Amino acid sequence: EPIIAAHHRFWGDPLSPFLVTVLPLQSPTGRMSLGGTALGDAFAFMATDNVDDKMLTRILAHEHLHSWIPRRIGMMPQQNDALDYWISEGFTDFFNYRILMRDGIWSLEEVARAYNEVFWNYAFSPVRNASNAQLADGFWGNRAMNDLPYQRGLVFAALADDRVRRASNGKFDLDDVMLAMKRVADAAGEGPRAPVRALFVATMRSFGVDISGDIARFIERGETIALPADAWAPCGKIVTSEVAEFARGFDGYRTIANGNKLVGVDPDGPAHAAGLRDGMQLLRLDLSEGGDARVALAYRVFADGQTREISYLPAGKKRVIVQELKLRTLADDASRKACAARLGGTG
């Protein structure tokens, strides 16, 4: 209820009935599953019993925001709507995080982690620099292509937000652009809506920003988006660094299927170098742990009649440039409120 109420507050629309159901499923050992179906004025979840509440929150909030993005701000392409998924999905995620922050459903630290997860996945995407046409063609057949509009679109939304703030000396931000687009769509009533991309470009221009060049570079050609270091200055810095790709060093899913006996240990990888070998018995394996090559993994293994712990940095050979939001020390209420206002779009 707080999530749905927050969305209606943001868009200035009255509350309307919305049904949410969750069907719990038993989870196999070491596995997790979560899915759902949007049904207009309802959403149905199917989730295993080990899914974290915050995952449900995140997906519900994203899907409910689709009631406005793009439905109430503009028309998607008629031939291949994947060409504008960077708006319909990426912008939805951006405003999802922003509103969750604004209404206190997520903490500053949770929002920073969520942004950094996207920045990390965007940086390491094997198709990060695919053109928009390539992305649209491969969206339904390739997982990386499927994920990219969410990642690229969110980072682009953060860039557009920064562009508007700088052009208006902090008076306006992307909230104002989206709400202005909604007013245009509302004024059309039941008539035809403007194409969402064209309306976005025109509305950005009315706020003093020509975003067409950025769309050509970062969306159409697929050039890597880099945010300014001071994009979220009240909270900290956008830090750019070179990091190694995360590499667990063995096949996690096959290991689980093998009763947690190691399978697929890469002889050239970090797990093998640390002493892990095929056939060793892991006492515990949770594939939700890990993801950052700079943070050590530790496993208790049973081999040769004894139990021991093996830890290592899961660093692969590939290295890429990654941006991250590094929160500064927010020790007092004033600094936390300033950061919350910036991430929440109210300051």
Q: pLDDT class for 192, splitting at 50, 70, 90?
A: confident
b/e code 233-247 from CB counts within 10 Å (16+ = b): ebbbbbeeeebbebb
Which are the contacts of 27, defined by CB distance < 8 A and separation ≥ 6?
33, 48, 49, 50
Phi, psi of 181 (to 5 degrees): -60, -40
* Secondary structure (DSSP) of 87-114: IIIIIHHHHHHHHHHHTTSS-HHHHHHH
The per-residue DSSP string of 18-85 comes to: -EEEEEEEPPPTT---EEEEE-SSEEEEEEETT--HHHHHHHHHHHHHTTTTTTTT-BPPSS-GGGGH
Nearest-angstrom CA–CA distance, 320 and 244:
7
- Taking alpha carbons only, the member of 36, 39, 76 closest to residue 58 is 36
Give the position of tokens 């207009």.
40
Q: How confident is the model at residue 38 (pLDDT cuts 50, 70, 90)?
A: confident
What DSSP designation does 305 have? T
Above 80 in pLDDT, residue 347?
A: no
Asked if the peptide bond before residue 228 counts as cis, ω within 30 degrees of 0, the response is no
Q: How confident is the model at residue 51 (pLDDT cuts 50, 70, 90)?
A: confident
Give the confidence band of 40 by pLDDT, cuts at 50, 70, 90: confident
User: In the predicted model, what is the mean pLDDT of the chain?
Assistant: 93
Euclidean distance between CA atoms 208 and 227, whole angstroms: 19
Entry pTM: 0.89
Query: 215 vs 218, 229, 304, CA distance in Å?
Result: 5, 21, 58
> What's the confidence (pLDDT) of residue 201?
98
Tracing tokens 């953060």 back to the chain, one arrives at: 158
- 34-38 and 315-327: which strand pairing? unpaired
Whole-angstrom CA distances from 335 to 33, 202, 330, 331, 342 are 38, 35, 5, 7, 11
Q: What is the pLDDT of residue 304?
A: 87
- For 2, 64, 98, 267, the CA distances from 347, given in Å and listed in that order, are 22, 25, 12, 52
pLDDT at residue 290 is higher than 70:
yes
Q: What is the C-alpha separation between 152 and 119, in angstroms, rounded?
A: 9
Q: Which residues contact 189 (CB under 8 A, 6 or more apart)?
A: none
Per-residue pLDDT band at 56 (split at 50, 70, 90): confident
